[in-house]
Structure 1
Amino acid sequence: MLVTNDYIYLVGYIQRNPRNYKVWVRVRLDGRLDTHFGKRGFITDMGPGFHVGAGNFHAVALHGNLKLLGAGSSPNQRFVAHATLESIDKDGGKDPDFNDGELVVTTIGLGSIWFDCAIQSDGRIVTCGKTGPEIEEMLVGRYLPSGRLDTGFGDHEGWTQFRLKDEVDNPVLALDSNDDVVVAGRYFDDLSAIPFVFRLKG
């Protein structure tokens, strides 16, 4: 959920068996659905080449000149999830300044998901999520305002990843006053859920 001076924006998915479709929703501040946004208040778009379902947004942020950024995942034709970013303008139109208005799909390992995102003071986009065959790898990525990976971040691919003991569960992030990235979440150790927090500089 993202609350602005004028509207409330929601992201997630709509389930239409057997598929899920990523969705944007705009609600007025009084709680009424804004039917002037998209199709009766909803925008769903699986993007080119990603039509098999199970797409989902997990986070939304405001960036640029009142543009909306959604972070989540989209599957390929083999139902493998890939980390996904999408930007639209505040009225639901494509953002031509972000990857020419198209979905940004980042393939990391055997499948990957972005669970949260934030915008640094210079406009760069920071994300966190998970990957790995048993989703036990923690991920933090950074993108330029244009939607391209910031190859100066992490291992010069635009992301950094490291293994936790078991499955990473829904990590979130925040930025401190120096734009350092603080990530919190939990992972599973046998039957126990172990909380964690760490900070990345810059």
Structure 2
Amino acid sequence: MAGSLREANLFHGFFARYDEAGALDTQYGENGFVLVENDIGSSIEALAMRSVESETVLGVGTTAVPNRGLLIGKNMDGSADLELAGGNIVISDFTAEENAWLQAAVSPASGRIVAVGFTEGFEEADVLIARYLPTGSLDNSFGEGGGWVRTKIGKSVDMGQGLSVQPDEKIIVCGTTFTNDLTEAFVLRYIG
């Protein structure tokens, strides 16, 4: 599982693992927990299995100030996944606006990572989707050469909240769009 813990005035993302009896697995990290400690704070919103063979997991979420989407890889013992950015946090700093990742998926065919979320604005937000190589670098073959795509659905707040990578590498994104008092769901398909 994953989430965030507050320490003083800073949030830290965390990973936790439980055993079959429902108790914290003390073989994982430090007494069952691994904190994502940095100077700007973080939260982990979702987990995705990165590789069943190597037993690695991917955490996706947001840094605190400024809000930027983040990816972080962990091995099943809680140590850093060195294949992903050398074990460091991957921060999405490619948009002028703040942004957040809410979900990620890994392509079984290529190992490429897809993250979905939104750009943040005061009264407006758009769906944001990025594709990364297994190393954590943006995949420049996705979108218009930058590795990411911003999609406006409605006139107000649009959020990508779930996704799936199909066997042919096409990407399905679902989410919600909010306009005044109306909330609607959407499904998008990205060709790649």
TM-score over 0.5 for the pair:
yes
CA distance in 1 between partners of 2:37 and 2:140 (Å) = 26
Say whether 1:180 aligns with 2:167: no
Using the TM superposition, give the Cα deviation of residue 170 of structure 1 relative to its aligned residue in structure 2, in angstroms: 5.7
Instruction: State which drifts further: 160-169 or 140-149.
Output: 160-169
1:109/1:131 contact within 8 Å kept: no
CA RMSD of aligned residues (A): 1.6
Which runs of 5 or more residues in structure 2 are unaligned? none
Which residue of structure 2 aligns with residue 6 of structure 1? none
Say whether 1:46 aligns with 2:46: no
CA distance in 2 between partners of 1:180 and 1:102 (Å) = 28
The CA deviation string for residues 65-123 of structure 1, in whole angstroms up to 9 with x for no partner, is: 21111111113xxx211111011111011122211111111112221111111111210
1:80/1:110 contact within 8 Å kept: no
Using the TM superposition, give the Cα deviation of residue 36 of structure 1 relative to its aligned residue in structure 2, in angstroms: 2.1
Which residue of structure 2 aligns with residue 61 of structure 1? 48
2:6 to 15, 33, 44: 15
Structure 1 length normalisation: TM-score? 0.86
2:160/2:174 contact within 8 Å kept: no
1:127/1:140 contact within 8 Å kept: yes
Aligned to 2:78, what secondary structure does the other structure show?
coil
Which runs of 5 or more residues in structure 1 are unaligned? 1-9
| Matched-pair identity in % | 27
Amino acid at match of 1:92: G
Using the TM superposition, give the Cα deviation of residue 132 of structure 1 relative to its aligned residue in structure 2, in angstroms: 3.7
CA distance in 2 between partners of 1:122 and 1:41 (Å) = 31
Instruction: State which drifts further: 120-129 or 28-37.
Output: 28-37
1:127 to 102, 115, 125: 115
Using the TM superposition, give the Cα deviation of residue 131 of structure 1 relative to its aligned residue in structure 2, in angstroms: 0.5
Aligned to 2:68, what secondary structure does the other structure show?
strand
Using the TM superposition, give the Cα deviation of residue 52 of structure 1 relative to its aligned residue in structure 2, in angstroms: 3.3
